[in-house]
């Protein structure tokens, strides 16, 4: 199975990626992991990326594309892969299509996790993190006994800056502007499968596997 996972921030892509990669016995490839590996190993691409990051700039598509292309040459991908966080725009989607076409290993599907914005804002803005042990709580879904303290260790709970409502709204705007067009791109390619990403984690995983069974 060669699969791309798309969806807005807070849709649960990281969680579903773990379950799906385990189910299909394929590596879960996130752009974050690729970046960290290149930086840790001090590769030429990693050093290039670091120079942009150190100066506070976004790593350009050209560098990201080369890192992903390099990762796709590795032996552990013989049975497929699950890409999470790439492609982020239509240009990257076209690069991925060209690379896979050259290898004669086209994508099987692009799975879109669809959640409405109001639910995402509730999911993310309700998160509270323990300063001491790092456990995540939620004001609606997993309430601690004391709203300001962690049940596990008694540490102080706080809201991350990127979980504040105005920040989440901005992230959703950026997603709509930059990433949502790839949904239309893959729909045109006949690869898009959309599932509702609301409900329990296990329900969403079941929904995903059932939808993907039509192509695999």
Q: Would you list the DSSP string of the chain? A: -EEEEE--TTS-HHHHHHHHHHHHT--EEEHHHHHHHHHHHT-HHHHHHHHHHHTTPPPPHHHHHHHHHHHTTSGGGTT-EEEES---SHHHHHHHHHHHHHTT----EEEEEE--HHHHHHHHHTEEEETTT--EEETTTB--SSTTB-TTT-PBEE--GGGSHHHHHHHHHHIIIIIHHHHHHHHHHT-EEEEE--S-HHHHHHHHHHHHTTT-
Q: Is 71 a catalytic residue?
A: no
Q: Is 171 a catalytic residue?
A: yes
Extract the tokens encoding 185: 């791109």
State residue 146's pLDDT score.
94
**Strand order through the sheet with 127-130:** 136-138, 127-130, 157-158
Q: Is 104 a catalytic residue?
A: no
Which one from 13, 71, 123, 128 is the annotated catalytic residue?
13
Question: Which domains occur in the chain, in start order?
Answer: 2-26+79-212 (3.40.50.300)
- Split at pLDDT 50, 70, 90, the class of 85 is confident
- Split at pLDDT 50, 70, 90, the class of 16 is very high
pTM of the complete model = 0.85
pLDDT tens for 117-160 read 999 999 999 999 999 999 999 999 899 999 999 999 999 999 99
Q: Is 127 a catalytic residue?
A: yes
State residue 56's pLDDT score.
75
Which one from 69, 149, 171, 187 is the annotated catalytic residue?
171
State residue 164's pLDDT score.
93
Give the residue-averaged pLDDT of 170-196.
93
> Given a cut of 80, is residue 58 above it in pLDDT?
no
Q: Is 97 a catalytic residue?
A: no
Which one from 71, 123, 127, 207 is the annotated catalytic residue?
127
Which one from 50, 88, 97, 135 is the annotated catalytic residue?
88
Which one from 74, 103, 143, 160 is the annotated catalytic residue?
160
Give the residue, 31 or 115, on which the prediction is more confident.
115
State residue 216's pLDDT score.
65
């Amino acid at each position: 199975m060669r699969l791309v996972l798309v969806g807005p921030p807070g849709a649960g892509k990281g969680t579903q990626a773990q379950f799906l990669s385990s189910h299909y016995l394929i590596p879960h490839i996130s752009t974050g992991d690729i970046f960290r590996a290149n930086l840790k190993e001090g590769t030429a691409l990693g050093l290039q990326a670091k120079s942009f990051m150190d100066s506070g700039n976004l790593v350009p598509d050209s560098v990201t594309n080369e890192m992903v292309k390099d990762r796709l040459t590795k032996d552990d991908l013989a049975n497929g892969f699950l890409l999470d966080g790439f492609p982020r725009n239509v240009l990257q989607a076209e690069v991925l299509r060209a690379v896979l076409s050259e290898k004669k290993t086209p994508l099987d599907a692009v799975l879109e996790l669809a959640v409405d914005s109001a639910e995402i804002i509730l999911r993310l803005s309700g998160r509270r993190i323990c300063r001491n042990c790092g456990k995540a709580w939620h004001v609606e879904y997993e309430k601690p006994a004391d709203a300001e303290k962690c049940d596990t260790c008694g540490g102080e709970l706080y809201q991350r800056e990127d979980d504040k409502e105005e920040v989440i709204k901005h992230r959703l705007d950026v997603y709509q502007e930059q990433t949502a067009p790839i949904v239309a791109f893959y729909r045109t390619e006949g690869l898009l499968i959309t599932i509702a990403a609301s409900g329990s984690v296990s329900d969403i995983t079941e929904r995903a596997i059932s939808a993907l069974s039509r192509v695999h």
